[in-house]
Every structure is written in structure tokens, then in C-alpha cells.
Amino acid sequence: MKKLTLIVGLAVMAGVPLLAKQSFMDSLRASSQAVRLDGLFGVKFGDRITSDATVIPSGDGTLLSPLDPTEPELVFQGYFAMLIPQTRVVVGLVGVDEYADDEHTKCNAAFAKCKKAIEARFEKKMKSLPPTDSGVGDSRTVLKNCVLELADNRFLFLQTLKDNSGGYIFRFCAMDQKATCEAVEQHQRTVKSLPPLDGLFGRSLGVKAAVSEDEETMAGGMRVQVFEPEKKFLDFTCYGLQILPQSRKVSGIFAWNDYEERYQATECFTKVCQLVERKFGLKFTDVSSNFDSTKPDEDGEQMLKCVVMSFPNSLRFVEVHCFRDVDDNVFRIRISAYDQSLLDALKSENKKAKKAEQSDESALDAL
């Protein structure tokens, strides 16, 4: 199953100090020159991103939309616009590089190079900030952090982070602080009393699962285990868990049901969305435009509708898919809850397993 948030750990704008203390902001303003920045990567602050553009919901209440600039001012592996969901107005611009667990030096070099380029362009030194918690539990650790204030309450942030797969991330963010703070604060007020996402169908995310005979290993090493819930959800017949192979932690919980007619599937899709929104008090984001609905993908799934619900201050999500399975010639509704930080941890587990296998091979050669 594909997850919409598998983009270099960008599900949440972790560690960016959106709500900095006023005294810190005042000290920056006292020494800063009024240098303007209207936009980057071919996009300006205040632009509206079209409704058919790909978006990824964040736990902070914003959306991220991938960009493909032709001549970017700064070079990164990935580019994103940060949007206010209700209006799709651009309030931030993000550049990201990913590095392997043995490329910490490369990550630091990219940080230093970008910092030097920014300081030369704006003729102003960036201010170092202390390392901070990522804001999303233990999913990522901020190692380096610096900021530069520009005119109109806009800021540039540079960060290096270490994720729980052992790899490193270098991130650049240009942000309209006032607009972003207002959006995030409004979101926090809305979700303050809402329950977290612990799990679905009587099963919990993050707990260790017992080994079962009804278990298969999927591509990439993930284990899938079927189960029978104490109470069935609507008329859904199939339920399963995604389990990390080494730690045995449940990273995903899902269920699906098949229909012969499209209208039956779309009716079910609407009902499922309504029930999930009632349970959690959050709204789904329609991300159907993220998929090519004209043809099936490599798994034989032709997506018709897709929505995702992000949970505040976490990397946990619920998705509902309505698609046609061309191989089975059915219309299928699938609902899944997952923890992105645990899915990211699969990389680390696979690396450890590979090293153990290589060590065993070396021992065999020595016999």
C-alpha cells in the first residue's frame, strides 16, 4: 500500500520555531536590515496553488505541495510549497536533501554551503539556534539550526536532522512567519481537545505483535498479518496489520471490502469518511488529484478517490482509498491507519538485518 507521506520525512514541519518568543524576535529585528524576499523556486508568497496540484497534509495543519522548478536559486533534491489548507495560499517554501547514515559529513557540508550562499546573497549573518526537539516525538532529532530574518516578517531557516532510520536530512525553509503562525495557532485551537490516533478496529499502533501463521512477508521486508476484529466495521470482510520484521511493532492497521458496482463503492467511501470524521473530530483532505485516475498503477490499482487525515503533532494518519482493482475486476474501499515514523524505521531494521547477514556470511567463510 502506498502512503502519501513518504516524502523525506516532511509530514510535519518538525523543529521550525514557528512560535518563537517575542524577545528573541525583537532582538533579531533590532539588528536586521529590511531585505525583501518575495518568493523562490518560481513561486511567490501569497500565490494560490491550484486545486488539482499534489498535496500532503501535515500534522501542524498545513499542506505541502511538491514543486519542480526549472532554474532554482538554491539546489536541493526536493522542493515544496507550504500552504494554508482552506485557501491554498503559499506561506512557506521548502528545499530538502536526504543523506544515508554514513553521509553525515556530506549533510553538514550542504548546510555550510547553503548558509554561506544565503549570507552572501542577503549580506547578513544567520543566527545560530540551539538544537531542538523535532516536535513529533522521537521521529527526528534536530542537530543544527540557524535563522535569518528578512523584511515583512519573513524568515529563512536551515536545519540538519537525524531520523530514526539512521539517515540525515538537510532542510531549507523560507517562511512568512505571521501567516504561518496564524494558521498553525488556529489549527492547534481547533484540535486541542481531540483524541490522538491510537489505532483502529481494536488494534493499536506501536505495540508488539505476536507471530502468527496468518502472516506474509511483503516486498521491502514488511510483514502483513490478517486478523478478525471483535466488532466488524460496516460490512468490511478483510482486516490486517503491517508489522516491522525485527521489532515486531505494528506500523499500520487496515481493512478493505470489495464491490461489483462502482456506485456501491462510492456510497461506502462516503459513509466511511463520514464515520471517521465523526470519531476523530478532524476533516479529511481530498488528495485524489495526487493520482493518475486514467490508468492503473504497477499494482493494478486505478485510483478513483482518496482522502487523508493527519493527526496533530504526530506522524500518524488515516487514509481512505476508493479504487478499481483491475486484476480482481472489483471496486475496492480500503481504510488504513499508520505511523509514518515506524514506516521510516523499517529502513533501519533492513540495514541491521543486512549487516547481520553479511556477518554470518563472513563467519561461514572463516569456517
What's residue 162's pLDDT?
A: 84
207 and 149 both lie in a single domain: no
Asked whether residue 178 is domain-assigned, the answer is: yes
Residue 353: pLDDT band with limits 50, 70, 90: low
* Parallel, antiparallel or unpaired: strands 199-200 and 168-176: unpaired
- The pairs formed by 52-56 with CB atoms below 8 angstroms and a separation of 24 or more are 52/289, 53/88, 53/289, 54/287, 54/289, 54/290, 55/83, 55/285, 55/287, 55/290, 56/4, 56/5, 56/7, 56/10, 56/11, 56/287, 56/308
236 and 132 both lie in a single domain: no
- The range of the structural domain enclosing residue 60 comes to 26-191
Mean model confidence pLDDT for the chain: 83
What is the arithmetic mean of pLDDT over 151-173? 86
What is the arithmetic mean of pLDDT over 67-93? 90
Give the whole-angstrom CA distance, residue 107 versus residue 289. 33
Question: How many domains does the chain fold into?
Answer: 2
Is residue 300 pLDDT above 60, yes or no? yes
213 and 109 both lie in a single domain: no
Residue 364: pLDDT band with limits 50, 70, 90: low
174 and 236 both lie in a single domain: no
Is residue 367 pLDDT above 90, yes or no? no
Q: Which of 150, 172, 191 lies at the terminal end of a domain, its last residue?
A: 191
Asked whether residue 365 is domain-assigned, the answer is: no
Question: Of 54 and 357, which is predicted with more confidence?
Answer: 54
Give the whole-angstrom CA distance, residue 157 versus residue 15. 10
Give the whole-angstrom CA distance, residue 361 versus residue 43. 52
Range name among 22-36, 162-176, 271-285, 328-342 with the lowest pLDDT average? 22-36
The closest of 119, 118, 170, 122 to 142, measured between CA atoms, is 170
DSSP-based three-state secondary structure for 138: coil
181 and 267 both lie in a single domain: no
Q: pLDDT (tens digit, 9 = 90+) per residue, 255-290?
A: 999 999 999 999 999 999 999 999 998 889 888 888
49 and 185 both lie in a single domain: yes
158 and 269 both lie in a single domain: no
Question: Of 338 and 340, which is predicted with more confidence?
Answer: 338
What's residue 28's pLDDT?
A: 44
Range name among 7-11, 173-177, 236-240, 276-280 with the lowest pLDDT average? 7-11
N-terminal to C-terminal alpha carbon distance within the chain = 42
Q: pLDDT (tens digit, 9 = 90+) per residue, 98-148?
A: 998 889 999 999 999 999 999 998 889 999 887 765 554 445 678 898 999
Give the whole-angstrom CA distance, residue 165 versus residue 262. 40
228 and 134 both lie in a single domain: no
Q: Which of 191, 208, 225 lies at the terminal end of a domain, its last residue?
A: 191
40 and 145 both lie in a single domain: yes
CA 361 to chain centre: 37
Asked whether residue 13 is domain-assigned, the answer is: no
242 and 183 both lie in a single domain: no
Asked whether residue 15 is domain-assigned, the answer is: no
Residue 33: pLDDT band with limits 50, 70, 90: low
Asked whether residue 36 is domain-assigned, the answer is: yes
94 and 143 both lie in a single domain: yes
Is residue 225 pLDDT above 90, yes or no? yes
This prediction has a pTM of 0.74
DSSP 248: -
What's residue 233's pLDDT?
A: 95
What's residue 177's pLDDT?
A: 81
Asked whether residue 8 is domain-assigned, the answer is: no
Asked whether residue 53 is domain-assigned, the answer is: yes
Asked whether residue 45 is domain-assigned, the answer is: yes
Residue percentage of the chain with pLDDT more than 70: 81
Q: Which of 130, 159, 191 lies at the terminal end of a domain, its last residue?
A: 191
186 and 77 both lie in a single domain: yes
Is residue 153 pLDDT above 50, yes or no? yes
